């Protein structure tokens, strides 16, 4: 009686193995950057723009405009977003990047009718079958860490590797690419691959790793993307990019402004250089943490628009920013603060300097209902009464007449509001 097939060791003669040169899913400057059949990582601290960069790669693949093997051959992609809203962030972001939405598929997992998070330990077989059936060539996982079960010790290499390797196997099976988004820790040694949050298995299994960081030396908000690992190619890529605001029309007919990844040119510094310089700045890393919080908050409000402060703080907490740090970041950025409704809800939004008549806010006397009353002064100095606060218009300038600071998007003086609230935003 034959024994059932099981685990066994066998030998393959090297002369029977067919070798080849790599095929590149993405090429830049005439060199291969991401090979087919591989796991690639976009890694950076919160607010660096790595997710926006991932949407640029994804959108370009759907339209056949990504330089490399798929250029001129649009492909289907799958997008797994565990931390960002597909409705409010991912789809508008893909719109801004010019994606063909008919080629974007969203894998979901449900148990008993309830949607649950995708786990590589449980759902990879089903996902693989679906990717083959729909001829998907690129799978974006944002963040890759979200597919690791909560019971896993993310710092144990053997546990994490067993859950990361299936993504590399999926890339081989579909003859495509899995692009994982990853966060960096606060290490100041400049090693991006080793600095990926959790086990070293993430960087070890990936064939290509790219770092993303804000350029502290840029006055234009430039950022840096550099290739920190390329197992079968060169690691000489360092680019300057920006997250530019683009207006898109959603399915509801409403207009939204979202970030778009735009490459400006080559950079003479890598992300490792930026992180090493930041690491020299202080013992406790507080300055670097504040920089990260400012970048994250700027990106978040740019994508979301005016958002209740409670929701901003909750989202910041998920990124491991303390409330104290995110308040300091808001103060540094000059975040505009506006209270609406009853009971009052405080909204945060990015300041916006525009043209024409502007108004700024000084809290007036408390009214009979207990609400702060405002007085409104127009550009010519005339005063009108409203029930929301004191609004003072400049005489042709875009600064507050009281303190001289620039006005926020709402036309109110953020500096005055912040000062009134004991030096920190609500």
pLDDT of residue 421: 47
373: pLDDT strictly greater than 70: no
407: pLDDT strictly greater than 90: no
Residue scoring higher pLDDT (360 or 124): 124
Mean pLDDT of the 40-56 span: 95
413/179 Cα distance (integer angstroms) = 42
Tokens of 162: 């067993």
Residue 172 DSSP label:
H
Tell me which residue has tokens 């609004």: 391
Q: Work out the pLDDT band at 417, boundaries 50, 70, 90.
A: low
Mean pLDDT of the 334-355 span: 78
How large a percentage of the chain has pLDDT more than 90?
A: 53
Tokens of 163: 């859950």
> How far, rounded to the nearest angstrom, does the alpha carbon of residue 412 sit from its chain's CA centroid?
29
270: pLDDT strictly greater than 60: yes
Region of poorest pLDDT, from 90-99, 133-142, 342-351, 382-391: 382-391
Average pLDDT, the chain: 82
pLDDT of residue 322: 79
Tokens of 419: 């000062």
Contact assessment for residue 208 and residue 226, using Cβ atoms and an 8 Å cutoff = no
pLDDT of residue 4: 62
Nearest to 350 by CA among 305, 285, 406, 399: 305
207/169 Cα distance (integer angstroms) = 12
> How far, rounded to the nearest angstrom, does the alpha carbon of residue 320 sit from its chain's CA centroid?
14
176: pLDDT strictly greater than 70: yes
* H runs (alpha helix) in 305-380: 309-318, 323-333
394: pLDDT strictly greater than 50: no
303: pLDDT strictly greater than 90: no
* H runs (alpha helix) in 11-90: 50-63
The shares of helix, strand and coil residues in the chain, as percent rounded to the nearest 5, are 30, 25, 45
Instruction: Please list the residues that pair with 138 across neighbouring strands.
Output: 77, 177
Is the link from the previous residue into 143 a cis peptide, with omega within 30 of 0?
yes
Mean pLDDT of the 325-332 span: 85
Residue scoring higher pLDDT (396 or 262): 262
Mean pLDDT of the 415-426 span: 49
pLDDT of residue 164: 96
Backbone φ/ψ region at 175: left (φ over 0), alpha (ψ -120 to 50), beta: left
335: pLDDT strictly greater than 70: yes
423: pLDDT strictly greater than 60: no
Q: Work out the pLDDT band at 319, boundaries 50, 70, 90.
A: confident
Residue scoring higher pLDDT (69 or 326): 69
How large a percentage of the chain has pLDDT more than 70?
A: 78
Residue scoring higher pLDDT (47 or 370): 47
Q: Work out the pLDDT band at 404, boundaries 50, 70, 90.
A: low
51: pLDDT strictly greater than 70: yes
Residue scoring higher pLDDT (136 or 156): 136
Is the link from the previous residue into 264 a cis peptide, with omega within 30 of 0?
no
Q: How far is the CA of 164 from the CAs of 26, 43, 83, 120, in angstroms?
A: 22, 15, 18, 8
């Amino acid at each position: 009686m034959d024994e059932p097939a099981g685990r066994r060791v066998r030998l393959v003669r090297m002369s029977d193995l067919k070798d080849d040169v790599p095929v590149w899913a993405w090429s830049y400057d005439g060199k291969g950057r991401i090979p087919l059949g591989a796991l690639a990582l976009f890694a950076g601290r919160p607010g660096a723009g790595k997710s926006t960069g991932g949407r640029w790669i994804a959108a370009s693949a759907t339209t056949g405009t990504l330089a490399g093997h798929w250029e001129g051959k649009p492909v289907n992609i799958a997008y797994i977003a565990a931390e960002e809203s597909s409705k409010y962030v991912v789809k508008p972001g893909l719109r801004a990047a010019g994606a063909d939405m008919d080629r974007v598929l969203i894998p979901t997992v449900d148990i008993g009718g309830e949607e649950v998070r995708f786990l590589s330990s449980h759902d990879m077989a089903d996902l693989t079958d679906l990717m083959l059936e729909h001829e998907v060539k690129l799978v974006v996982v944002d963040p890759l860490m979200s597919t690791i079960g909560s019971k896993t010790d993310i710092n144990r290499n053997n546990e994490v590797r067993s859950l990361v390797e299936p993504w590399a196997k999926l890339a081989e099976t579909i003859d495509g690419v899995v692009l994982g988004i990853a966060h960096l820790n606060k290490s100041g040694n400049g090693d991006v691959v080793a600095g990926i949050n959790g086990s070293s298995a993430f960087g070890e299994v990936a064939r290509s790793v790219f770092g993303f960081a804000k350029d502290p030396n840029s006055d234009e908000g430039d950022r840096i993307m550099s290739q920190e690992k390329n197992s079968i190619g060169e690691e000489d890529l360092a680019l300057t990019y920006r997250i530019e605001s683009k207006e898109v029309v959603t399915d509801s007919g409403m207009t939204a402004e979202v970030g778009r990844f735009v490459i400006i040119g080559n950079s003479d510094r890598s992300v490792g250089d930026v992180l090493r310089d930041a690491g020299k700045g202080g013992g406790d890393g507080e300055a670097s943490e504040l920089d990260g919080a400012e970048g994250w908050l700027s990106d978040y409000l740019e994508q979301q628009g005016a958002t209740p402060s409670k929701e901003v703080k909750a989202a910041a907490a998920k990124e491991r920013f303390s409330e104290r740090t995110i308040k300091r970041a808001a103060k540094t950025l000059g975040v505009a603060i506006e209270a609406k409704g009853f009971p009052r809800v405080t909204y945060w939004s990015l300041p916006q300097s525009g043209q024409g008549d502007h108004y700024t806010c000084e809290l007036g006397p408390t009214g009979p209902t207990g609400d702060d009353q405002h007085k409104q002064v127009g550009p010519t100095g005339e005063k009108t009464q409203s029930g929301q606060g004191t609004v003072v218009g400049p005489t042709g300038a875009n600064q507050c007449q009281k303190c001289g600071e620039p006005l926020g998007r709402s036309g109110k003086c953020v500096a005055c509001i912040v000062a009134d609230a004991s030096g920190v935003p609500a």
